Amino acid sequence: MWRCLVVFALMVLCSCSARVRGPHGIVGGRAADGFFYVVPVAGGVVLVDTGEQPDGALLRELVAGRTIVAVLVTHAHHDHYAFAHALGSVPVYVGAEDIRRMRGETQHQGAIQRAQRAQNGGVDNLPPVPAGVRPVEDQQRLVLGDRAFTAIALPGHTPGSTAYLYEDVLFGGDAAMARNGALAPIDEGYSDDPAMARASLRRLTGYAFRTVMDGHTGITAMGPDAIARE
Ligand SMILES: [Zn+2]
């Protein structure tokens, strides 16, 4: 049963590519799974996640020859950062606990991920760790190019899950997704601690965002009033 569900979910998740466009010149894409976003800044672009890029073609298309100043990773699930290692020494910001996850020092604890790991002989297939990886802390303000991004820790989906606020845009990864008109974490089976993931959403109260750009839905007009009640 689990195997069928997992295979079906993978078929659905991997079956389409997409391009999306939002405010502030931001564009996004999904090649295999996991949206990534390209944010124009002085001197180039900032990427939020990289998605899964079998050959990097969609990412290159949307970057359009501009310099990649930095990558802001929302969390250490492979469908969000698997291509980051291919970007050389570009700074790659990740919540500290998720750097440990990238290095295999801790393992994903979601029910679906545990089942997948059991089928895989007890090991996770991890992408290479990006050379430029460095920790980002809760409330850290990152000035990249001429633009400021604020990191907001949302532990629970993974221990180092981090959202990034840019102008009136919230990049939520899988920790803060637009789902059926509400802002909520992804399905519980993919989260280390689903209860903590839901509780973390309260940390977004008071931030003045009007657009959510997340890991699997895409771009949605949504503000903090849409935070799902537990
Ligand atoms: Zn995830």
Centre of ligand 1 from the C-alpha of residue 216, in Å: 9
Centre of ligand 1 from the C-alpha of residue 75, in Å: 7
Share of the chain above pLDDT 70, in %: 93
Q: Is the pLDDT of residue 200 over 60?
A: yes
CB 122 within 8 A of CB 157: no
Centre of ligand 1 from the C-alpha of residue 166, in Å: 21
Centre of ligand 1 from the C-alpha of residue 157, in Å: 7
Report pTM. Answer: 0.92
CB 122 within 8 A of CB 112: no
Q: Tell me what the mean pLDDT of segment 114-121 comes to.
A: 94
CATH number assigned to the domain comprising residue 201: 3.60.15.10
Which of 58, 28, 7, 5 shows the shortest CA–CA distance to 217? 28
Count of domains observed in the chain: 1
Q: What is the mean pLDDT of the chain?
A: 93
Q: Tell me what the mean pLDDT of segment 150-173 comes to.
A: 98
Structural domain including 131 reads 2-226
Q: What is the pLDDT of residues 31-43, one digit of tens each?
A: 988 999 999 999 9
Q: Is the pLDDT of residue 12 over 50?
A: no
Q: Which CA distances in Å does 82 have to 147, 154, 160?
A: 25, 21, 16
What per-residue confidence (pLDDT) applies to 54? 86
Centre of ligand 1 from the C-alpha of residue 126, in Å: 14
Q: Does an H or E element contain 68, and which?
A: strand 68-72
CA distance 152 to 176: 11
What per-residue confidence (pLDDT) applies to 17? 83
Centre of ligand 1 from the C-alpha of residue 215, in Å: 8
Centre of ligand 1 from the C-alpha of residue 190, in Å: 6
Centre of ligand 1 from the C-alpha of residue 213, in Å: 14
